[in-house]
Amino acid sequence: MITGASGGIGLALAEIFAREGYDLVLVARSEDKLAAAKTRLESRYGIGVEIMVKDLVVKDAAQEIYAELTDRGRQIDILVNNAGVGEYGRFANADWDKQNEMIQLNITALIHMTKLFLKPMLERKEGKILNVASTAAFNPGPTMAVYHATKAAVLFFSEALVSELKGSGVTVTTLCPGPTETGFVAAASMESSKLFQNLKAATPEEVAFYGYKALMRGKPVAVQGFFNRLMAFSVRLAPRSQVREMTYKMYGKKDSSISPS
């Protein structure tokens, strides 16, 4: 099962899993995009695709997904928590409702989905979970303060589970992409940021393939791209004040807060 599967990294992951012969459950808000993905993947790869139109910002959406799949007798062997959103702008000027929705989607829904599907995996003594975080998880992000905080939460939560689940037959992998050519940039109104003006973004297919391989190996943390791995390592060594200022300059000092679509 893949959340946020209507485009970007989620759809690219769906393509890989379908090519490898997995039946899929695809979750997203857009019924039209999910239906198009279902038709294409089933016809191209001869696998089965179920779609679930759900908005994980809604409080009980994760429970609804789990209940519906349980009623259908569906067993989820691999869970991919990919859905997420960001917002670019100063925290003081941000719309709280949008910030709260970001926390709900990026943290609460992801943790709840993991909680629900983890127990059956443990009972079967097998399963894999891929939680999509970001290189933003490794450092504070002025002008994207809440987004960075949510991705740090995903990384730390997932790494903690790695130790808890050792020897259980269930693995947890955290995928940490850097700048990626998805709808995220436009949704977070980041086109004008220096990060996306100066760095070459990876394609969703590149990130998905890297994440898939890491998941299959049971790798705890997967940072896609050499430069991203270098940055993730270097911020651990640099003084925190320098890390904050470097990130602030990298994003550019935009004063307004513009919420994602």
DSSP string, 20-77: TT--EEEEES-HHHHHHHHHHHHHHH---EEEEE--TTSTTHHHHHHHHHHHTT---S
pTM: 0.86
Q: Which of 66, 88, 147, 251 is catalytic?
A: 147
Measured in residues, the chain has a length of 261
Name the average pLDDT for the chain. Answer: 89
Sheet with 127-132, side-by-side order of all strands: 49-53, 24-28, 2-3, 78-81, 127-132, 170-176, 221-223
Q: Which residue has the higher pLDDT, 121 or 235?
A: 121
Within a domain: 182 = yes
CA 21, distance to chain mean position in Å, is 22
C-alpha 10 chain-centroid distance: 8
Domain membership flag for residue 261: no
As a whole number of angstroms, the distance between CA 4 and CA 204 comes to 13
Quick check: 244 pLDDT over 90? no
Question: Is it the case that residue 57 has pLDDT exceeding 80?
Answer: yes
Distance CA 110, CA 113 (A): 5
Mean pLDDT along residues 240-252: 64
Domain count of the fold of the chain: 1
Query: pLDDT at position 200, please?
Result: 78
- Is the residue at 67 inside a domain? yes
Cβ neighbours of 172 (radius 10 Å): 25
SS3 of 132, please? strand
CATH classification of the domain holding 238: 3.40.50.720
Specify the long-range contacts of residues 147-153, CB closer than 8 Å, at least 24 apart: 147/86, 147/87, 147/102, 147/106, 147/188, 150/84, 150/102, 150/103, 150/106, 150/107, 151/84, 151/106, 151/176, 153/106, 153/107
Residue 184 pLDDT > 50, yes or no? yes
Across the range 238-260, mean pLDDT stands at 55
Q: What pLDDT, on a 0 to 100 scale, did the predictor assign at position 258?
A: 31
Contact (CB, 8 A) for 176 and 155: yes
Tell whether the model's pLDDT for residue 130 goes beyond 90.
yes
Domain hosting 127: range is 2-251
In this prediction, residue 259 carries a pLDDT of 31
Distances (CA, A) of 59 to 42, 99, 101, 107: 31, 15, 10, 12
Residue 19 falls inside a structural domain: yes
- Catalytic residue check, 147: yes
Mean pLDDT of 102-120: 98
Q: Which residues contact 111 (CB under 8 A, 6 or more apart)?
A: 157
Report whether 45 contacts 19 (CB < 8 A): yes
pLDDT above 70: percentage of residues in the chain: 83
pLDDT tens per residue across span 187-210: 544 555 555 555 678 999 999 999
